[in-house]
Amino acid sequence: MDSEILRFLKEYDGDVIRIMEVCGTHTAEISRTGIRKMLSPKIKLISGPGCPVCVTVTAYIDACIEIAKRENTTLVSFGDMLRVPGSHGSLRDAQAEGASVKMVYSPLDTLKYAKEHPETMYVFAAVGFETTTPVYALLMEQILAQQITNIKLLTSLKVMPPVIDWVCANQGNVDGFLAPGHVSVITGSRIFAPLAEKFHLPFVVSGFEGEELLSSIYALIKLRGQGTVMNLYPSVVSEEGNTLAQAQVEKYFTPGDATWRGMGSIPDSGMYLRETYQKYDAGSLNLIEDHVLNRACRCAEVLTGKITSEECPLFGTACTTEHPQGACMVSMEGACFNHLTAR
Amino acid sequence: MCVATSGEVLKVENGIAEVDFQGNIVRAAAGLTEVSPGDYVLVHAGVIIQKVTKQDNDIMTQLLAEMEDAARG
């Protein structure tokens, strides 16, 4: 990497600049590579709401648990979701008490189970951002094509632009964004242009390698105050994104208000099955309650970049990767998990 | 959760591709982008979401290995 850039980043002495990443994989990579130690103290990297598991409210986890306890019903999920605390325990706790929970690598694996056990209803805990929603669209395509009647989705699907808008409008202390890499693969880099213009902030689409992240941070400093989008990951992310995936999402899902942990309801920040396909929905609407397991937990403020993980009084003491008190410590993409494991 | 890994497509049959992740052969749905054997692709949750260059594939393979090492402690 250009040593001039490295020196600039280490010796930067301008106004303090706060750069937010809104991608769990970026969060993990920044911690793993120790990038913070390569930067001037005047360059602050803060983690935003980029981990879909972390922003899921407890009402959703509670609904998953209730479904998993039903007779002849199995709740199917990605592994990340199993340890997230609901109001009264996690899916893993429920599983230990006899609830039927199955972990899969791909939502499409559910098709095989459903065909093998037609007497069982399989409900997929469909959590994710723009990267994952097309996968659920593909699952819907197969459910219809194969005329499968024993799969439903409990959705908690979210989209990034409205929550970035919320952070800019309510926090107001971010000077630039590392735009989420794999979300951008689907949406294209152009999706961030209206936000860049509205808030006069730069967005840089970044790769995941340490050098790519450092280059992106450098670009954000140089672009400070400019409402522009720069794509520094052009070999993977195009301006228009994956249009076929976008069309599939449009076919099955429609935008609607969604509740985010710590932020409340944000208009049109969620995606729900269209009216035509509501018979495949397992009760995704109105899951808005967010019960805090430990009153001292400050996940909500960590998620919005208001405080750092280290500023939470539970961090590394009552809240650890073995005994997480909040979702940010559960997920491998969570800010607290990464800050703690990087120490 | 948005983690995607890249590998090389070995063959495609009935919308399902066999993808080589460093010798680990995994089946992935090819319904969101057109792919052919020899293409390098990005796979998320069992679905191919994009084609990538070989250079990006090599970088992401290394990154994933490093993240797994870090997760193991």
* CATH level 2 (architecture), domain A58-159+241-280: 3-Layer(aba) Sandwich (3.40)
Pair of tokens at residue A274: 């269209």
Whether pLDDT at B3 is above 80: no
Contacts of A245 in chain B (CB under 8 A): 32-33, 49
- Contact between A223 and A250 (Cβ < 8 Å): no
Range A295-306 average pLDDT:
81
Considering only CB atoms, A106 lies closest to which of B45, B53, B73, namely B45
Task: Give residue A110's identity as a one-letter amino acid code.
Answer: T
Residue carrying the six token digits 């409402």 = A227
Q: Where do the CATH 3.40.50.11740 domains begin and end in chain A?
A: 58-159+241-280
CA distance B41 to chain A (A): 10
Do A23 and B2 count as a contact with CB atoms less than 8 A apart? yes
Whether pLDDT at B67 is above 60: no
- Beta bridge partners of residue A152, listed in sequence order: A123
Predicted complex ipTM exceeds 0.90? no
pLDDT class of A211 with cuts at 50, 70, 90: confident
Contacts of A52 in chain B (CB under 8 A): 1-2
CA distance A105 to chain B (A): 6
CA dihedral A151, A156, A159, A164 (to 10 degrees): -170
- Tell me how many residue pairs between chain A and chain B have CB atoms under 8 A apart: 104
Whether pLDDT at A288 is above 90: no
CA distance B13 to chain A (A): 16
- Taking the C-alpha atoms of residue A332 and residue A328, their distance in angstroms, rounded to an integer, is 9
CA proximity to A130, closest of B21, B34, B32: B32
Domains and CATH numbers, chain B: 5-72 (2.30.30.140)
A3-52+160-231 adopts what CATH topology? Rossmann fold (3.40.50)
Considering only CB atoms, B45 lies closest to which of A23, A107, A245, namely A107
Whether pLDDT at B70 is above 60: no
CA distance B53 to chain A (A): 7
Mean pLDDT taken over chain A: 91
Do A331 and B3 count as a contact with CB atoms less than 8 A apart? no
- Contact between A22 and A176 (Cβ < 8 Å): no
Contacts of A128 in chain B (CB under 8 A): 1-2
Q: Where do the CATH 3.40.50.11750 domains begin and end in chain A?
A: 3-52+160-231
Min mean pLDDT across A1-5, A37-41, A98-102, A248-252 is at A1-5
Min mean pLDDT across A211-215, B41-45, B65-69 is at B65-69
Given this model, what pLDDT does residue A178 score? Answer: 95
Query: Where is pLDDT greater, at A153 or A261?
Result: A153
Min mean pLDDT across A266-270, A304-308, B31-35 is at A304-308
Whether pLDDT at B68 is above 60: no
Query: Where is pLDDT greater, at A303 or A241?
Result: A241
Range A109-135 average pLDDT:
97
